[in-house]
Amino acid sequence: MDLPSKQPFFRVLGVRVNAIQIPNAIAVIERWIEQRSIGNYVAVTGMHGVMEAQRSPSLKKDLNNASLVVPDGMPLVWLGRWHKFPMRRRVYGPELLEAFCHETKDRYRHFFYGGGTGVAAELAEVLRRRHGIRIAGCYTPPFRKLNQEEERELFELLKACSPDVLWVGLSTPKQELWMAENSGRAGIPVMVGVGAAFDFLTGRTRQAPIWMREHGLEWLFRLGVEPKRLWHRYLIYGPQFLWNVALELSRIKDFT
């Protein structure tokens, strides 16, 4: 596993966020694969993940132990600029996944873990058609925690498939906790948690227009599309995040 401190970073409410952009993230992931550096995991994290970490010490620990924590959200990009890093754009999960597939084509074997029934297989086929990637396998877990038998079968499958990269499409914080617990178990160089990318790239959930995503307004679009599921994330966590960041930047409160 690569050491988290190797990449430049800043901290947001006690969470280490790497000052990295998509081309650099792709290069790092490729290096891990080529070196067969086992047990790396990438957390694609925005305001929501940082706020969940305030409630869960185990999540904060897992984020800070990740090989990379990439800024999937304009608030984290703006904070990175405040810390003097030349960050132009966010590392948007669906874009990172598709850009990696586009850049590497058939060089690596991909495994897709997560999503609803049939979504992982559908996503794998979409990306195979678009970019010519090689599919090692897919697995749709139940919404509950896997039992011992299911876990054993999953990791036997992963060992048999021998993927180079495992894409995890679960919700935050479930995917971060799962990667931290399992990243070293199946000899896989890297796991990447891309959240809703499975649903976005298969067209099951609408994405915000690019101009909204690039100007910090994706939250407004997503709130309009899924108000029942996302109201707490944006209407409660959003103001709390801004208040806590103001306390941290003014050095009134230390969140480490």
- What architecture does CATH give domain 4-200? 3-Layer(aba) Sandwich (3.40)
Q: What is the pLDDT along the chain (256 residues), one digit of tens a residue?
A: 665 547 899 999 999 999 999 999 999 999 999 999 899 999 999 999 999 999 999 999 999 999 999 999 999 999 999 999 999 999 999 999 999 999 999 999 999 999 989 999 999 999 999 999 999 999 998 888 888 888 889 999 999 999 999 999 998 999 999 999 998 888 899 999 998 999 999 999 999 999 999 999 999 999 999 999 999 999 999 999 999 999 999 999 999 8
Domain boundaries, the chain: 4-200, 217-249
DSSP letters along 149-188, please?
HHHHHHHHHHHHH--SEEEEE--TTHHHHHHHHHTTSS--
The SS3 of residue 110 is strand
Could you identify the residue written with the tokens 């994330």?
233
C-alpha 78/C-alpha 89 separation (Å) is 9
